[in-house]
Amino acid sequence: MNLEISKMNLEIVVGKVEDGKVVAEKIIKEVEVKMATTILDLGFRHKEQIDIIGSIQEEYIALQANKLSEKYAKWEKCVGKTRKDSMHYGDYHSSLSDHKLKMQGHACRCGWHKKPSIHGEYGTNVHPDLIKMQGTLGAKMHYKEAEETLGKFSYQKRSVNNHVKIAEATNTVGSILNKIKLKEEVRANEDTGHLYMQVDGGHVKDKDKKKRSFEALIAGVFKESSYRESIKKNIPISNHVAASAINDGGEIINKFILDTAKKEGMTKSTEITAFCDGATNCWNIVNSLEAHCKSITKILDWYHIRQSYDRAKICVYQTMLSNLIHLSIKCGMVKLRKLSRS
């Protein structure tokens, strides 16, 4: 028996409604509903989803742009309405799509004129959601890798997501967060009797080949219970970390490590065991906590103990070898003198 299957379509429609009445409609997407033969046919593909969202945004933002232009239909310092003064276009970058908005300009007979723009109204033409994604990825990977990742996510190569823009966003967000962190007042929510601390540093090659490498310092503070739990469950140690690459004599890293230790429960009664590589600037970070805790036990980490031991061993060996050579030469000269006399 043949069953007749009715044809079914799906329409995604955007409508403009004023005072409860539909005054305009636009079909964003129309597809025939079919049974999915493979998992790839189930629902919309990635690019289709991006296109649908972008098309809906295009209609919605255009209406919002009109509202923005209407704000200047009357100039508060003059009596009466302003006149329209040409149209102009401006770029706007949302989290997944880019748009060119048409904005109505206005002018007054007194000489005042206004050409509204997204950047002029809000200080930027990039949505904060996109800035957040750029800053997050830029802080976790190379800028060019972040550019590639965002391109795959939005399924298109966007000029707003090039590595230069990502670097700018990352640095801007980082600068703001740094100022917030410097003003942050941290108090210990608990009294931890014993804490562990590890400090290390290293030189990072500057991307500008004309500049010298710069030093980055990192310090972590954790509880003994966190270490034991990480060993038992084979998971990373739960800790708080502070880091800085600013050449300010340790001022910022010392502030950050103090806050970090307080978040782990450091008080005046806390004993700290600190592991370090022996570098003076690393020990200076450890020493900065001495006035804020009970005591600090300083230990050179095993890697650098072994490194120092190997250097000492080589030095002793070279000294002994040099002495043996010198002694052999001296004995040889004595024997030569005896032979020459005989």
Q: What confidence category does residue 336 fall into, taking pLDDT thresholds of 50, 70 and 90? A: low
Tokens of 89: 């276009």
The pLDDT of residue 313: 65
Sign of CA dihedral 132, 137, 138, 139: positive
Evaluate whether 138 touches 100 at the Cβ level (below 8 Å).
Answer: no
For residue 148, the SS3 value is: helix
pLDDT of 147 strictly over 90: yes
Beta-carbon contacts of 251 under 8 Å, excluding residues fewer than 6 positions away, are none
The distance of Cα 178 from the centroid of its chain, to the nearest Å, equals 12
Class of domain 194-300: alpha beta
By C-alpha distance, which of 32, 36, 40, 38 is closest to 11? 32
Average pLDDT over residues 14-41: 91
Evaluate whether 270 touches 191 at the Cβ level (below 8 Å).
Answer: yes
Buried b / exposed e along 182-207 (16+ C-beta atoms within 10 A): eeeebebeeebeebbbbbbbeeeeee
Among 43-52, 71-80, 106-115, 245-254, which stretch is predicted with the lowest mean pLDDT?
71-80
The pLDDT of residue 324: 58
Break the chain into its structural domains and give their ranges: 9-125, 129-183, 194-300, 302-342
Which one-letter DSSP state was computed for residue 6? P
pLDDT of 231 strictly over 90: no
Evaluate whether 32 touches 8 at the Cβ level (below 8 Å).
Answer: yes
Tokens of 163: 């590595």
The distance of Cα 199 from the centroid of its chain, to the nearest Å, equals 22
Beta-carbon contacts of 56 under 8 Å, excluding residues fewer than 6 positions away, are 12, 14, 28
Which one-letter DSSP state was computed for residue 325? H
- Type and span of the H or E element at 195: strand 194-204
For residue 98, the SS3 value is: strand
* pTM of this structure: 0.70
Q: What confidence category does residue 204 fall into, taking pLDDT thresholds of 50, 70 and 90? A: confident
Rounded Cα distance, 163 and 169, in Å? 10
Among 5-19, 118-132, 138-152, which stretch is predicted with the lowest mean pLDDT?
5-19
The distance of Cα 182 from the centroid of its chain, to the nearest Å, equals 18
Q: What pLDDT, in 10s, does the model give residues 254-310?
A: 999 999 999 999 999 999 999 888 788 889 999 999 999 999 999 887 666 666 666
**What's the mean pLDDT when you consider all of the chain?**
85
Average pLDDT over residues 8-26: 91
Rounded Cα distance, 111 and 109, in Å? 5
